[in-house]
Amino acid sequence: MALYSEKVMDHFRNPRNVGVIEDADGVGEVGNAKCGDIMKMYLKIDGDIITDVKFETFGCGSAIASSSMATELIKGQPVSEAMKLTNKAVSEALGGLPDYKMHCSVLAEEAIQKALDDYERRKTNV
């Protein structure tokens, strides 16, 4: 059996939503101390809807595929839905990740949570 699903390979080779949102409403950056990989998420939020999301990932193929899939899953969604996104949902949407690569999808969940926290913080500080 192939180590990675077709979907993982597709999102690794053609990642969606790569880049930076200069005037983002929320930004979250996380890293994994063990592997040294870093992920950064940018959110544009209008009303309660995530209208745009972009990411930069300095990391492994699974981290790139996970961030790409995670952005697809939350784009166009209300903030409350994005808050519920788990790494398990990201991995399932990718057709599964090998056990030792599950932490890569955790990075995507954490980066989104952190960007949402940043958004909430900015909102309450206005």
Residues annotated as catalytic are: 35, 104
Grouping H, G, I as helix, E, B as strand and the rest as coil, residue 24 is: coil
Q: For residues 65 and 85, is the Cβ–Cβ distance under 8 A?
A: no
Q: Contact with ligand FES (CB under 6 A): which of 6, 35, 117, 121?
A: 35
Single out the segment in contact with ligand FES by CB under 6 A; choices: 31-39, 80-88, 90-98, 110-118.
Answer: 31-39
Q: Tokens for 35?
A: 């592997």
Strands 38-46 and 26-31: antiparallel
Helix/strand/coil (H/E/C) assignment for every residue in 51-64: EEEEEEEECCHHHH
Q: Which of 62, 91 has the CB closer to ligand FES?
A: 62
Of 62, 68, 71, 87, the residue at the interface with ligand FES (CB under 6 A) is 62
> Which residues lie near ligand FES (CB under 6 A)?
32, 35, 37, 59-60, 62-63, 104, 107
